[in-house]
Amino acid sequence: MYFDIYGNPTKPKSASLILPMFLVLVASGGGNYWLWKERARLTGEVNAATAKLALAEAAHKEMAEKLEKLETERDTLVEARDQALKDAQAKAAELAKLKDDGTGAGADEGSQPEGAGNKAKPEAKADSKADAKAETKAETKSETKSAAKEKPKAKPKKKTADAPRRPKADGASKAPVEREL
């Protein structure tokens, strides 16, 4: 038995406190280990997401540059098209004026201002283009019809087991099948 300083008997300290303290220490260590593993996993996911974000931003920046480049190219092409249309209209008007001057029929129209007389000229140009297209189509149709008349198409013959095979025209000949009687 144990006695304190004053001589009073005391109970001996038991080992009952050691077991709960050990269990708390093990649980704390296990929790810390689990949290450390989760932190490492989440850090890896964050790094992967950051890398994907950087790639997506780079792709977005590249696409924005391409879009800007294509828009400027489109704008220049539209301007070039408009300029070409204006040039074509001017040339068509000049050509029509020259044709009218050559025939003498355009004396009335030559006295009109350029803006007033130019309205009918592009329509005449469109009609002449349509006529030219129709003529080329008619020529190609007549050429194909004449070619079709020269080489009539033969109908394919049905091959039967009894009919002999003819040798091919390209030089590769096969032995004809003999008929059995």
Domain range annotation of the chain = 17-118
pLDDT tens across 143-157, in order?
A: 555 555 555 555 555
pLDDT value at 116 more than 50? no
- Phi (first) and psi of residue 3, to 5 degrees: -125, 145
More confident residue, 125 or 10: 10
Residues 6+ apart with CB under 8 A from 53: none
pLDDT tens across 62-80, in order?
A: 999 999 999 999 999 999 9
Per mean pLDDT, which range of 4-8, 45-49, 165-169, 171-175 is the poorest? 171-175
- Cβ(92)–Cβ(125) below 8 Å: yes
SS (H, E, C) the chain: CEECCCCCEECCCCHHHHHHHHHHHHHHHHHHHHHHHHHHHHHHHHHHHHHHHHHHHHHHHHHHHHHHHHHHHHHHHHHHHHHHHHHHHHHHHHHHHHHHHHHCCCHHHHCCCHHHHCCHHHHHHHHHHHHHHHHHHHHHHHHHHHHHHHCCCCCCCCCCCCCCCCCCCCCCCCCCCCCCC
The predicted model scores a pTM of 0.36
Find residue 10's DSSP bridge partners.
2
Mean of the per-residue pLDDT values of the chain: 76
pLDDT of res. 175: 53
Burial class (CB in 10 A: 0-12, 13-18, 19+), 106: middle
Q: pLDDT > 90: what percent of the chain?
A: 43
More confident residue, 6 or 88: 88
